[in-house]
Amino acid sequence: MKATLTDIPSIFGIRSLMQVKNDVSHMLKQTGDGFQFGTSTLGFFRPDISVPTYLGRYPKNRLAPIFHCFDREGGGKHYSQRVTRNTIADFRGKSLGYDEHDGVDFACPVGTELTAAASGHVVMIRDNWLRGGLTIAVDHGHGLITQYTHCWKPLVQLGQEVLRGEAIALSGSAGVDMTISFPWVSPHIHFMVWHRGLPVDPFLANREKDHTGTWCERNRPGHQEHPIEPCPDYSEVDEDFINEVVAACTSSKIRSELEKLNGNAYYLAAYLEDALHHDRYAWKQEYDATQMRLKQEGMTKLWMPLTSKHYDGAILADKWLALSGWI
C-alpha cells in the first residue's frame, strides 16, 4: 500500500502531540536505565539498505536483507534500549546486531504486507511509541508466540484466527528509535519469537538441535511448501499467576491497558510477556515469565513474516549491498 504525506506521522507511530510529549517525558526519566546511547550507534546506519527501502523499492533477488540478528549473549535475558555493540554474538558467533537485541530485523518498504509466520490467534495489538510503536502478536499454540513490531496499520483484530502466510499488518517505521534514526536505519519489521514466556532465536547455531519456533527449512526463512493446517487452540495459561502479576503492576499507564483486555487470560498472557520483558520498571519485584504458560509439547515451524508477493527468502546483510540490487 502506497503511503501519502498525510500518513507520515502514523507511519512513525505518532498519533498526537500530547502522546509525544508524555512519551518523551517518560523516556527522559528512564535515561540511564531503560534508555542508553553510545557512539557505536553509527555502526547501525545502513544507507545502502535504508535509502532504496524508504523509496519503496524491493530487491531484485527477492531476498529481504536481515541487518540485525538475535543476540545470543544477552537477547531475551533482560532488556534495555541500548544501542551499543560490545558483547553481541549472533547464531554464527558474528556481530550482526547489537547488545541485547531480542529479535530479527527484516528490511521492507513501508506498506509491505506482514504475514503470520504460522497459523494461530491474534492475542495482542499494542501501540507503544517508546517500544517500537504498533506491535501485533499471534499465539500458535503450545506456548509459541510470534510478535511483529514497527507496524503502520493492523489488518486484524484481537481474537481473530489467521492462517500461515495471511496478511496481519502493513509495515511501517514506528517507534521513537525509528523516528530518531530516520533515514539512516531502514524501515523494517522487528520479528520476535517467544516460547513459554521467553524470546528465542529462530535461527540455529552450529550443531544446535531443531526445536519449535525455528524456520521450516533450517536457517533459511522463506515460504516453503506446507500442507493446509487447522488453526491451533490457544496456548494454555496459568490464570492465577496472571492475576497475581496484573495486581502487582505499579504503572497507571500499563494498568489502564490491561483493564481494556476485560480479563481475557490469553490476551493478558501475551501482553504481560511483552511488558515483563520490555517494561520492567512497572513491577517492583521480578516475576518469572515462564510461569505464564503451562508446559505443552509441540513442534511448530515458521515461515518468514513477509509477503510472498515480494519475497522468496532473506539474506544476512553482513556486507553492504550494492544499490544496483534494488528495483
The span from the CA of 289 to the CA of 301, in Å, is 22
The number of distinct structural domains making up the chain is: 1
274 assigned to some structural domain: no
190 assigned to some structural domain: yes
Query: Can you give the residue range of the structural domain that contains 177?
Result: 5-229+297-319
Decide: helix, strand or coil at residue 36.
strand
124 assigned to some structural domain: yes
Contact 155, 307 (CB under 8 A): no
Q: What is the pLDDT of residue 39?
A: 47
Find the CATH number of the domain harbouring 47: 2.70.70.10
pLDDT tens figures, 40-66: 555 678 899 999 999 999 999 999 999
282 assigned to some structural domain: no
152 assigned to some structural domain: yes
Beta-carbon-side half-sphere exposure of residue 244 (alpha carbons within 13 Å): 11
249 assigned to some structural domain: no
196 assigned to some structural domain: yes
pLDDT tens figures, 125-167: 999 888 899 999 999 999 999 999 999 999 999 999 999 999 9
The span from the CA of 110 to the CA of 158, in Å, is 23
pLDDT tens figures, 170-191: 999 999 889 988 999 999 999 9
The span from the CA of 326 to the CA of 180, in Å, is 25
pTM: 0.93
223 assigned to some structural domain: yes
